[in-house]
Amino acid sequence: MTDRLDRPVERAVELDAPPEDVWGELADPERLGAWLGAGVDLEMEPGGTGTISFPEGETRRARVVDVEPARRVSFLWWPVAPAVGPPTHVTITIEPTGTGSRLRVREAPSARARAAA
């Protein structure tokens, strides 16, 4: 019963572009915002902080943990409005495939991210 909860949320998508091109969709705040469905004001560098504003009204603060261009980014984000909530840890990885890239996302409550570290 608890087995399912021992893992973070994980999703993946196959993309028709090499990792270097896919990276632009993460590193450029405007392009990142377009697919996140939010206004993004975030510096994609270790320690970078910023704000992500969703059109439904939720605002989250984010802090970049680490960055490996064209390969990996991880950040913490947490809601600050309309109410403050606990942070979760998001890790996005990009790997090359025969036809383009595979992008994976993991999101976990940061208590577990700390436990796994």
Partner 1 sequence: MTRRDARVDAVFAALSDPTRRSVLGNLASRESASATELAAGLPVSRQAVVKHLQALGHAGLVTPTREGREVRYSLTPAPLDDAVGWMADVGAQWDQRLERLRRQVGTRRR
What residues make contact with partner 1 under the rule CB under 8 A? Answer: 1-2, 4-6, 9, 11-17, 21-22, 25, 31, 34-37, 79, 83-86, 88, 100, 103, 105, 107-109, 111-112, 114-116
Which tokens is 94 given? Answer: 């990009």
Min separation Cβ 79 and partner 1, Å: 6
Min separation Cβ 68 and partner 1, Å: 19
Considering Cα of 97, then 34, then 90, then 48, what sign does the dihedral take?
A: positive
Min separation Cβ 12 and partner 1, Å: 8
Task: Note whether 94 and 12 are within 8 A (CB).
Answer: no
User: Which residues lie across from 72 on neighbouring strands?
Assistant: 68, 93
